[in-house]
A and B are shown apart, each in its own frame.
Chain A
Amino acid sequence: MADLADMQVVDKGLEKAVAGLSEERIQEVIGSVLSQAVAGRLKLYLQTCVHCGLCAEACHTYVSRDKDPDFAPVAKVKDTLAVMLKKKGRVDAEFMKNAARVAFVECGGCRRCSMYCPFGIDIATMIMTVRRICSLLGVVPQYIQDTTNSHSATSNQMWVQPDDWIDTLIWQEEDAQLELPGLRIPLDKEGADVLYSVIAPEPKVMAQLIANMAVVMNVAGIDWTMSSADGWDNSNMAMFSGDLEIMGRIERVHWERALELRVKRMVMGECGHAYRGAVYDGPKWLGWQGPPLPMIHAVELYYDILREGRIEIVDKLTEPVTIQDPCNIVRGSGLHEKLRYVVAALCDNVVEMSPNHEHNYCCAAGGGVINCGPPWKLSRLKSIKVKAQQLGRTGASLCITPCHNCHHGIEDIIGHYQLHMRTSFILELLVKQMKMPEGVRG
């Protein structure tokens, strides 16, 4: 039984789009996406499924919604793509509105389910196909569409004007110099070893993180730079809204900025989906087999500089701390061991969530779900009760979240389920607990 409250949510993006949508147009778009080859492959997936239900137990929405069968991964496909295939695209606007709700809000493409499916059936890819169809028809939740619009108009996620971006860098450099005199955020430095890119919410609402990274880069003695020009933002909500053309365009801007500056590698801040966009989905659409330069996630950077002794930790947290494994860098890229190495250097009392590592539950914010905005917040939080229980069982007072989506998603969970816990990026701990050069800090 689907959640009636969810079905009554008014999302302007969906309402307005379906109002003028003809069945001919729907059929045409579905036909164009589900070409014979694609349809054949998807049908094979659906025929292979033996309805064993193993994927259902793996899905946080199903488990959190008291095992409501409507939230099982297979049900999400059955209610959307399978019908489109069966009816050869002859579905109506109301059907599309519901399909959009399921595809954008009830599945974040976390890929946990495929890990448990004996046949490895890739539910997330099928759901992303539904999103692509929705996007082509303009049936996209308002807020994630707005984010995609920002990517289109500005190459960044949050309508950041170019002067605001540069001004933020200058201001963050001046701020960080109070902590570390002589520190620099070198802008547009050709031939640097590292180009550091961030997601647009950093200059918009968490600018301190840029100053923090500047401190780490300077103390670790890394030859680095940041871009004053477009390409500085590595986020990519177009990847999740189904607008692959804008997804490809902004990944091109991001990577070409690094190539223009002739850096040797790119380092990105603590974000999961941006890693996926920059390393997998973006390059693939552009014809690259992988990113044209190595992409180092912040967790890998911290791991390297700690191991190499380029920064030293002088203060460790003793409170109980737990770790959120972000889907895109752990299930997607296996960074969980490096993540633990880094956290162990900072915290004495790590209490693991269970399950963890690649088996960890998603935060329910990723995959563009949190970007669907306020109308869907309650639904998202109902779908992640299992994470609240998981967090609560650890007894930890701090959850380390090396991903912006996880960070906000878990903050919302803490608020909604009234957990006695706070969240932190690794970077925030690192700058407080690392050894500063002689004479800089008491």
Chain B
Amino acid sequence: MTRSASWSWETGSRTLADLGELRAVHREVHEPAVSPDGERLGVVVVRGDGAFAVAENGELWEPELERAWHLRYTPDGRLTALVRIDDMWTVAVDGEPWQRRFPFVWNTGFSADGRVIAAQVKEGMEYTLCVDGQLWDRSFLSLRSYALSADGRRAAALVQVEELAEADTEKFAQGTWSVAVDGEPWEQRFIGLWSPAISPDGEMVAVQARTDRFEYTIAVNGVPWESRFACVWEPSFRPGGAGPLAPARVGSTWRLMEEGEQLWATSFVQLWHLRFSPAGERAAAVVAPEWGRFTVAVDDRPWGCTFGDAVLPPVFSPDGKRVAATVGHRRRWTVAVDGQVWEESFDMAWMPVLGPGRGPVLAKVQRGGEYGLAVDGRLLSQRYELLWDPVLSPEGDKVLLRGVQGGKYVRRVVPTGELR
């Protein structure tokens, strides 16, 4: 059962928060966040006395804060914020600050089910990861990015493990970086590491690894692939698959590699943002079949249409049958679905939302400074000051709209057939 099955899908509208009212009372009202189920809107406010607070559906959190920012809802709908209290930082969850306080904490991340919350932490002059309020045993000279497994039980981070004196280019070339998994660094050292990814079963950690000045590969659990490349991009795991896949540069073109072997026959001028269908049987990536022209290739077959500005990461429908992406051409943005481009274009378009079967494709778009909802390429007449991505019900027959109109946050459920 998808999580959204438990949400209220009763059609109709409910006004849940009034930003106008908050603005009348408080000195500042920052950018709001909305829970995945649309039931709650959280926003940082600055009160007349200069203290920060978080308001959720108009109610202020208890603790008085010197500062609050980076409001993010977990996938299971808890509101997190980075907060400063008594000159120390921590994470507050639904108004409860973690017990531990740090000189600095940032970049909250969540497991897929939302139960686990992690954040990067500075302690003393060192860096580590904090998972659900618990610090890793070890800290490092630097920690630059991390990944959580889907269930949140494992975490992997890129860490600097060797001291580097100022301008010590020799030592840098010997490798000063490693990957720490649940706090324990790999023995291996690398010149550079990027974008850790954890396999769906949590058993494998893969990263882009720079093994020499001009030699790159993918390292899995500390072991680099045998093949070396001129460059690589981020590895990712196919649901139900074995080892990671990653784009790699050979000569001056890019290929898709699986466990070090070429998977797709075609080489591209560019190949990135690999995505899989939910069951893992199909793969899609953004590719440039020729210089300056981008499109989506699905299982090695590029769409017939190409775009000059950019193509953003593709997304599969829940049944894996359809693929869509935001595309940019001549400074206008729209959506393409299975190689067909929408007729209307916008100042900006967000990631398309697809339901099961042949239901409509939706996307939040921006035009003339206002937000709107585009359905199968047509912009609906309703305009919003703020809008979040639409969510389709598990059956795809209803859509949850979360938007601010006239200063008021409204949660609306509409049958997809009535979208106009």
Contacts and interface: CB of A to CB of B under 8 A. Distances in A.
Interface of A: 12-13, 16, 135-136, 138, 142-143, 145-146, 149, 152-154, 161-163, 166-167, 170, 182, 184, 186-189, 191, 223, 228-230, 243, 245, 248-249, 252, 259, 262, 264, 286-289, 292-294, 373
Contacts of B214: 136, 243, 245
Given A153-B160, A245-B231, A170 B67 contact: yes
A223 B172 CA distance: 40
A223 to B, nearest CB: 8
Given A13-B169, A152-B210, A191-B371, A162 B28 contact: no
Interface in B235-272: 249, 269-270, 272
A354 to B, nearest CB: 38
Contacts of A243: 213-214
B331 interface: yes
A189 to B, nearest CB: 5
Contact of B107 (A191, A229, A288, A293): A229
Contacts of A249: 194, 231
B347 A264 contact: yes
Contacts of B120: 162-163
A294 B331 contact: yes
Given A153-B142, A245-B249, 10 more contacts: A13-B169, A153-B176, A163-B120, A166-B106, A191-B371, A243-B213, A245-B214, A259-B312, A286-B270, A294-B331
Nearest to A154: B144
A96 B369 CA distance: 55
B67 A149 contact: no
Given A262-B350, A264-B348, A287-B270, A163 B122 contact: yes
A149 B172 contact: yes
A182 B270 contact: no
Nearest to B349: A262
Contacts of A145: 169
A148 B115 CA distance: 39
Contact of A182 (B27, B144, B168, B169): B27
B196 interface: no
Nearest to A151: B192
B150 interface: no
B16 interface: no
14 contacts: A13-B169, A135-B213, A136-B214, A146-B167, A146-B168, A152-B191, A161-B127, A162-B144, A163-B106, A186-B31, A248-B231, A288-B292, A289-B291, A373-B167
Contacts of A161: 122, 127, 142
A245 B192 CA distance: 12
Contact of A153 (B167, B192, B348): B192
B338 interface: no
Contacts of A191: 348, 366, 371
Nearest to A374: B167
Contacts of A143: 167
A223 B366 CA distance: 14
A259 B106 CA distance: 22
B213 A138 contact: yes
B70 A228 contact: yes
Contacts of B213: 135-136, 138, 243
Contacts of A16: 170
B182 interface: no
A146 B231 contact: no
B310 A292 contact: yes
Nearest to A143: B167
Contact of B192 (A152, A184, A223): A152
Nearest to B271: A287
Interface in B343-393: 347-348, 350, 366, 369, 371
Nearest to A141: B169
B211 to A, nearest CB: 13
A291 B412 CA distance: 38
Nearest to A137: B213
B230 A167 contact: no
A229 B120 CA distance: 12
B288 interface: yes
